[in-house]
A and B are shown apart, each in its own frame.
Chain A
Amino acid sequence: MGTQISPTPGTTPGLLSRRTVLRASLLGAGAMTAAPLLAACGSDDGGTAAPRSAPSLVKPSGTVTLTLWSWAWPEEPAAGQLKAAFEAAVPEVKLEVKKFPFPDYETALRTAVPNGTSGDVLHLQTGSMIRQYAQFLSPVEDLARQAYGDDWETQFLDGSVKEIRDSVPQGQPLVAMPQQYSIGGVLWVNRAVLAKAGGQVPTSHEEFVRISRDLRGQGLVGATWGAKDNWPNTDYLVQFASQFKPGVVAAAEAGQASFTDDAIVAGLEYLKRTLADELWNKAPFATPAFPDAYDLFFNGKAAAASIGTWGTAALFATPNRLTDWAACLWPRLPDAPEDNWLGSSVSGIPQPSSASAVRPWRTVNVAAAMRADLSPDKQWAAWKFVEWSCGEEGQKAGSATYTPARKGIRPDGLNEEWQRIYDWHNELGKGAERREFDYIETRKAIESAIAAVCVNNADPKAELQRVDAAAARARK
């Protein structure tokens, strides 16, 4: 913005008077303020849309440095081993990994992805996270078909690719590949601790209460819950509501049911009841999930924790875990209808809890995606990393620290019992509930409702009405 300052009465041409300086300063400040605002005004039309066609890949003539941003990359020494394995498989690419704590990762993505300053390859969660960034990511379906064959989708655990597809509006291309897939919400139990309360896994709510009471008398804990972090809370609600009506939370988020549905109300009331019945560690709503709540289980102070295949790496921390730990499902909730979803298809349950046990949840907890604005050689390198990570070799290499999304791959080092338990988890995926939400607003509203009901004794129906309103706003 060019501004000519002309001499005005009362000033001396050629010299800067107070008024001149003041005016110039104000004009300068105004310009500094107005210019970006005007520029911002110009961006209201939606800006430049990211390319939606498959990327063009060009193999580099030399070495390309590729940056991966993740919150889910393993710790050393596994991190170095995984990096070395990839660089050995694709010597044209040098991998650099930037790992964030998850909350920081969400914040970093928010500014870096739209500005093109994020990593070349991104680890993302399904649901709202992929939905937010899909416009900045390359379509990968054609590349997957070329790399893995026409049946590529069936090579991954049931529902994993669909979960990514469902993360974006219908008709939009697939923008990420399933790298890690978890079955969660399965109770992992410590038999050594359970032995102090009779030695059996809980087969009913009443039995669970008795075990917790017995253990509390010995300074131990029945089950752990880090409710301060909120995400475990929605996991439990999704599971408990599904006891009364499978899929009801997902249906409510989609607007096909109401959050005030009796099934969700019953699930929420049961969650509150678990607090009154003291199934948990003290004051879950003041306890973070990590490290506090889960450490109670990992350190042998709790009988049970809601884990699942995502916790597989913890099995190897000490040798006795493979023999002390087992797994079962949360026993059927009081007053819940018969729901023999396990049927006869699930085998190898080492610690049966009860018929009609609570369904676990499933999630593609890590999907690999690549930015759409990369140069062709970077696109090539990025796809090579995604292809390797989601291919058999990469999945096997990473399986000791994360849960492979490919069928038939399980980590080395499991004993026979845990091999069966691991396979059993993945088999449970067929009846598991969807964990992630399409809209963060819905998740946040549910978190608030759960806290209000469990901590403030608020009316569940009234709180869930607010969730309905929030979900409706989000869908708009």
Chain B
Amino acid sequence: MTAPVRLETRADEQPVVDTPTTGGTRPAPRRRRRPSPGWLYVAPALAVFAVFVAYPIVATIRSSFYDYDGISPVRQWVGLENYREMLGGLDPYFWKAVTNTLLWTVVTVPAQLLIGLGLAVLLDGALRGRVVYRTVFFMPAVLSSAVIAFAWGWIFNPDEGVATRVLRAAGGSGQAWLADPGTAIWAAFGVSAWRYSGLFMLFYLAAIQMIPRDLYESARIDGASWWQRARRITVPQVRPMTVLLTLFGVIGAFREFEVVYILTRGGPAHATDLLSIQIFDQAFDLSRPGYAAAIATALLALTAVCAVVLLRLISWANRSVE
């Protein structure tokens, strides 16, 4: 009698045929399992990740437990002292920078999403010259930060800036946008929204063009208005892209540095201080890389929490569209 053939399968292995044996004969040799070469394929990427991501993160966290000036080789272990100073109110500007960074995120990211989506919806139609418009709106995203900062610095110039002149022409007395703590951060928000909305528009355009056209046709036949079609079809269908762009936007907002630094240097009176600027100032102006590393670690934790939440949202958004 012959026993049935049994197939053993592991998730990561080839099926193994277990041949039945008869009395007195040696069991047939198992076929040699070939290991998956997958890990070999990813090994270079892992090595790059280890050197350029994992190591700097570990080194930064480690540095945050030291007090040193970044010049002398002497490093003094201070344990959690940098964190105590940072979180315990001894640094008067840390919490201001945290507030500004969060404010930056909750203001600029929705603004970029809304403007980007609005532009995409407008430019998805049969608008004359839409390619030109798309190029114009996208252009700020490819300009260098320094160029943007200097250009907007001139626009906001309190004497001869375009923004000042427009206000004057409208009967106002001009506004020192970047000199007033009340307006400086909003001016910087505006620059950020202007810069990235075109990029978001491009992503949204791609997402909108993936929406089946028959959905719009059906809605049109049912008498849905343009606004209803946008609200009931476009917005839900691009939800995965919205969440993805939110993730990009939040990470970008936490990393924002160059434009604000050149535009205001975190001033006036720390009104536009962001965590990234604090890190730079502490490390390079005040020669306190250990303390800067503590702030960087806090920023890393903040970014990681937001990323995890947003990645879960992306899964949810994908499921909801499916």
Contact = CB atoms under 8 A, between A and B. Distances in A.
A451 B59 contact: no
A47 B71 contact: no
Interface in A437-476: 440-441, 444, 448, 451-452, 454-456, 458, 466
Interface of B: 12, 32-36, 38-40, 43, 46-47, 49-51, 54-55, 58-59, 62, 69-77, 92-93, 156-159, 174, 176-181, 184, 264-265, 267-271, 281, 284-287
Given A44-B77, A286-B177, A114 B32 contact: no
Contacts of A133: 71
Interface residues of A, number: 52
A359 B69 CA distance: 34
A297 to B, nearest CB: 14
Given A114-B73, A448-B269, A456 B43 contact: no
B55 A33 contact: yes
Contact of A283 (B39, B93, B176): B176
A283 B46 contact: no
Contacts of A454: 269
Contacts of B180: 283, 455
A287 B164 CA distance: 14
A444 B278 CA distance: 12
6 nearest A-B pairs in the assembled complex, by CB-CB distance: A47-B73, A283-B176, A21-B39, A283-B179, A29-B50, A286-B179
A32 B55 contact: yes
Nearest to A16: B35
Interface stretch (A93-101, A105-113, A250-258, A427-435): A105-113
A132 B268 contact: no
A36 to B, nearest CB: 7
B73 A33 contact: no
Nearest to A453: B269
Contacts, number: 145
A22 B55 CA distance: 18
Nearest to B62: A37
Contacts of B159: 281-282
A47 B35 contact: no
B179 A15 contact: no
A33 B54 contact: yes
A355 B69 CA distance: 45
A21 B158 contact: no
Given A20-B35, A451-B269, A440 B73 contact: no
A305 B75 CA distance: 44
Contacts of B287: 110, 132, 440
A80 interface: no
Interface string A131-167: 0110100000000000000000000000000000000
10 contacts: A25-B39, A28-B50, A29-B47, A32-B51, A37-B62, A44-B77, A110-B71, A132-B69, A287-B179, A458-B269
Given A114-B71, A114-B72, A286-B179, 10 more contacts: A25-B50, A37-B59, A46-B72, A107-B284, A283-B179, A285-B268, A444-B281, A452-B269, A455-B269, A466-B92
